[in-house]
Amino acid sequence: MSRSSGYSLNEDKLLCQIYVNISQDSITGICQSYDQFWVRIEQTYNNLKEESWIYHNKKSLQCRIALIEKAIRKLSGCIRQIENLHPGASDI
């Protein structure tokens, strides 16, 4: 029996938006530690999440982003392979 991810599509979307926004924040982006970066993500995520969603701690959010990044790398690799076989295929 497989284990549920514990995250819905909407939770993943919110997490990704927060991750990108905080990582691209030019004011505090370069002046924060790795830990502070994830504290900000945890606080923002749990403040913006819908009431029916469960609380996710920093470690859970880090693991979820790692899984999403892994899937993105795999998808990017597939797109590169298609592009190599059929240049311009992703322009359609």
Domain boundaries along the sequence of the chain: 9-91
Q: Where are the alpha helices (DSSP H) in 1-92?
A: 9-23, 34-48, 58-85
pLDDT > 50? residue 3: no
pLDDT value of residue 2: 41
CA–CA distances in Å: residue 9 to residues 42, 45, 51, 87, 88: 18, 14, 16, 32, 30
In this predicted model, what pLDDT tens digit does every residue of 31-82 receive, in sequence order?
788 999 999 999 999 999 999 999 999 999 999 999 999 999 999 999 999 8
pLDDT > 50? residue 1: no
CA–CA distances in Å: residue 62 to residues 32, 39, 47, 90, 92: 16, 10, 17, 30, 34
pLDDT > 70? residue 4: no
Angle subtended by helix axes 9-23 and 58-85, to nearest 10: 90
In this predicted model, what pLDDT tens digit does every residue of 21-34 receive, in sequence order?
998 887 766 678 89
